[in-house]
Structure 1
């Protein structure tokens, strides 16, 4: 009888425990319930890009790509140019004259003396008389002359350099003797010069 009683109470206690566990689980489920959907976080706002500056206009005092205060380079402001430099064809052993035309394109007149250097091709010899008269052998050039115009050159005027030369008699007919060069130096811009090449052609 005592064994049956004890067994009965064990079973009752087990059922009660199971009910309590089930009730607790059900209560816990009722307390928590289904999870509420998460609210999306507000979107971050990127800072607005600064507005691009307007393109330059005439009132800005500048045009696109060229500031208003940009000065032209020195080479553009130098007015003296060797426009032409040539000599007529000549027979071997004969004499011809190199003529070089020098122009002042401005923007200013050249009041001071200006210098011209002449390099004569090999197998050709300067013989004179020269114009201008102040032409002397160039100490730095084996076959060259240093010439000086002593009157300056007004704006948009020209000057002519004339150098008689003689071709070596051993040169063949139809031969072109290259290597000549005429260079003018602007006295208002001592570091600037302008050159033009020339050749002597035999016939």
Structure 2
């Protein structure tokens, strides 16, 4: 019977070891891919603040968009920010960062940011613009928005914040 007892112990030991190996093996949801690639970095980039200057009709202003990476990691891929201006407002150029591009009508500006924005770090977009001279004084132009598209976002969200511009 001691031989059966030894076989039983070995079988139990192999069962326990197999269970340990199987539970320790990475799965498709783990942060370490099984195909040899580097682990995907997760980062949430938000529009933290939009600060358009008040402006008189026909005047120039700068729309300032502050972005923050709330982590938990630096961005592993590039991400984009699109700024859509309210009706009767057009972008006038010399954007920051310099690589930002306007659509043909000047109503939208898109900026691509490289990977590597650190956890708890900020970035900014500056969009110089002009309000139409036909806009009534003391009005508020609504419908502006800033949208972040980040492939590293663990929530798989496109994050959008709306804003308006006060006309003096």
Tell me if TM exceeds 0.5: yes
Q: Show CA shifts across 1:17-57 (max 9, x none).
A: xxxxxxxxxxxxxxxxxxxxxxxxxxxxxxxxxxxxxxxxx
Partner SS, residue 117 of structure 1: strand
Give, in angstroms, the shift of residue 155 of structure 1. 0.5
Q: Trace 1:24-39 onto structure 2 (pairs within 5 A).
A: none
Partner Cα distance (2:130, 2:107) in 1: 12
Q: Trace 1:44-193 onto structure 2 (pairs within 5 A).
A: 78-138=43-103, 143-150=107-114, 152-189=116-153, 191-193=156-158
Moved over 6 A (4+): none
Partner Cα distance (1:174, 1:80) in 2: 34
Q: Could you say what the CA RMSD is over the residues aligned between the two structures, in angstroms? A: 2.1
**Structure 1 residues without counterparts, runs of 5 or longer:** 1-76
Say if 2:46 and 2:69, in contact at 8 Å, map to a contact too: yes
TM-aligned CA distance change 1:127 to 1:201, over 3 Å:
same
Indicate the structure whose relative CO is greater, using CA pairs within 8 Å and at least 6 residues apart.
2
Q: Which is higher, the Rg of structure 1 or of structure 2?
A: 1
Give, in angstroms, the shift of residue 137 of structure 1. 2.7
Candidates 153, 158, 162, aligned match of 1:197: 162
Partner SS, residue 80 of structure 1: strand
Partner SS, residue 55 of structure 2: coil
Tell me the TM-score normalized by structure 1. Answer: 0.57
Partner SS, residue 106 of structure 1: strand
Tell me the TM-score normalized by structure 2. Answer: 0.68
Partner Cα distance (2:93, 2:108) in 1: 13
